[in-house]
């Protein structure tokens, strides 16, 4: 799959059905040696009240991605997901 094929797709959480946002050009972290996607970074959604969001960004590890469809990326993040972390910057 090409990087350009991910841009513009909505990200939906399988755990609770919440639309987490849309993948943009600068929202992917790529391993420079392997060329593989490491994570997707989403800006804070001001209209979503969730413990995942504060003044920082949501980092979704690529391991949480369950399915990439034609318009949607399905991820599985629950409240106890240990790899979920905040990203400042």
Scan for tokens 């992917």, then name that residue: 28
Q: Are 81 and 50 in contact (CB under 8 A)?
A: no
Which residues are 87's β-sheet partners? 57
The structure's pTM equals 0.72
DSSP letter for each residue of 5-16:
HHTT-EEEETTT
Cα of first residue to Cα of last residue in the chain, in angstroms, is 27
Pairwise CA distance, residues 38 & 21, whole Å:
18
pLDDT in tens, the chain (89 residues): 677 888 899 999 999 898 988 998 778 888 999 988 899 988 765 555 455 545 567 889 999 999 999 999 999 988 654 344 444 44
Question: Which domains can be identified in the chain, with CATH numbers?
Answer: 3-79 (2.30.30.240)
């Amino acid at each position: 799959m090409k990087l350009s094929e991910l841009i513009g797709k909505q990200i939906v959480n399988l755990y609770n059905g919440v639309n987490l946002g849309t993948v943009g050009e600068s929202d992917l972290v790529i391993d420079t040696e392997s060329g593989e996607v490491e994570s997707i970074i989403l800006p804070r959604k001001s209209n979503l009240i969730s413990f995942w969001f504060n003044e920082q960004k949501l980092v979704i590890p690529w391991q949480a991605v369950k399915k990439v469809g034609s318009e949607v990326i399905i991820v599985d993040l629950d409240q106890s997901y240990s790899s979920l972390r905040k990203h400042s910057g």
